[in-house]
Structure 1
Amino acid sequence: MSVPEAEGNTELEGEHQWVILACIPHVVPEDEHDITLLRAYPPQSSRLIVPRRIAPDPKDIENHPYVVAVGTHGRFLLYATQGQGSQPAEPHVFDGFHSEPLRAHGGYPKAYFLCDLSTRAATRLPDPDIPILNPGNVGLLVLRGGRIAAVVSMVVELQPTAGTDRAALLCYLSLTNRWSVRPANYPPADRPWGGHGVIFDGPDLIWVDLSYGLLHLSCYESLLSDPPPRLLFIPLPDGCELPAGTEDLDKKRCVGWSGDRLRYVQIHLRADGEPIVSRWTWIPLVDGDTGSWRHDGDISFQVIWADKGYRAMKLRPKEIPAVACIDPGGHGESVWFFQRSRLFRVNMATGKVMRSIFFKMNNPPSRYHSSRFIRLWKLTKELYDGA
Structure 2
Amino acid sequence: AASPAPSWVILGSVPRVLSAADANADLPPGPGAADFSLALPAPPRVALLTIPPRIFPCRTTPENFPSVLAADPSAGLLLLHADQGRATGPTIIDTPGHQEFSWRPLVAGYFVLDAAAASALPLPKPELIAHPGHLGLVASPVGEGYMVAELQPFLGGDTAYLLRFSSQVGEWVSKSVGYPLPARPLSPNGVVACSGRLWWVDLSWCLLTCDPFADAPALDVVPLPDGKALKSKEAWGLLDKYRCVGVSAGKLRFVDMYRNRNSNGAAQISVWTLADYP
**TM-score, normalising length from structure 1?**
0.58
Does the alignment pair 1:178 with 2:171? yes
2:207 equivalent to 1:208:
no
**RMSD after superposition:** 2.8
Alignment partner of 1:136: what SS?
helix
Counterpart residue type for residue 279 of structure 1? S
Q: Deviations over 1:84-126 (max 9, x none)?
A: 2579xxxxxxxxxxxxxxxxx9521211111222222212111
Shift in Å, 1:42: 2.1
2:223 maps to 235
In the TM superposition, what is the alpha-carbon distance from 1:252 to its structure 2 partner? 0.9
Q: Matched residues in 2 for 1:163 and 1:24: separation?
A: 34
* Other-structure match for 1:74: 76
Closer/same/farther in 2, CA of residues 42 and 119 from structure 1, 3 Å limit: same
Partners of 1:186 and 1:271 in 2: CA distance: 39
Could you list the per-position Cα deviations for residues 304-347 of structure 1 after superposition, in whole angstroms to 9, with x for gaps in the alignment? xxxxxxxxxxxxxxxxxxxxxxxxxxxxxxxxxxxxxxxxxxxx
Does structure 2 conserve the Cα–Cα contact (< 8 Å) formed by 1:267 and 1:275?
no
Mapped to 2, the partners of 1:220 and 1:180 lie a distance apart of 11
Offset at 1:216?
A: 1.9
**Residue 73 of structure 1: CA displacement?**
3.3
Deviations 1:216-254 (A, max 9, x none): 22x3432xx1xx211111222233222333121111111
In the alignment, which residue of structure 2 is the partner of 1:157?
A: 150
CA drift at 1:64: 1.5
Which residue pairs with 1:141 in the alignment? 138
**2-structure distance, mates of 1:209, 1:114:** 24
Is 1:124 paired with 2:117?
no
Q: Which structure has the bigger radius of gyration? A: 1
8 Å CA contact 2:164–2:212 kept in 1: the answer is no
What residue is the counterpart of 2:9 in the other structure? 19
Paired amino acid for 1:116: D
Aligned identity (percent) is 35
Alpha-carbon shift at residue 275 of structure 1 (Å)? 4.7
Task: Give, in angstroms, the shift of residue 185 of structure 1.
Answer: 2.1
1:253 counterpart = 2:240: no
Distance 1:163 1:60 in 2: 36
Q: Which has the higher contact order (CA 8 A, sep 6+)?
A: 1
Question: One-letter code of the match for 2:272?
Answer: T
Partner of 1:109: 107
Aligned-partner Cα distance in 2 for 1:138–1:197: 7
Shift of 1:144: 6.1
Change in CA separation of 1:145 and 1:258 when aligned onto 2, cut-off 3 Å: closer
> Does the C-alpha gap of structure 1 residues 39 and 274 become closer, same or farther in structure 2, counting only changes over 3 Å?
closer
Task: Say how many residue pairs are matched.
Answer: 247
Output the CA distance in 2 between the equivalents of 1:20 and 1:232: 29
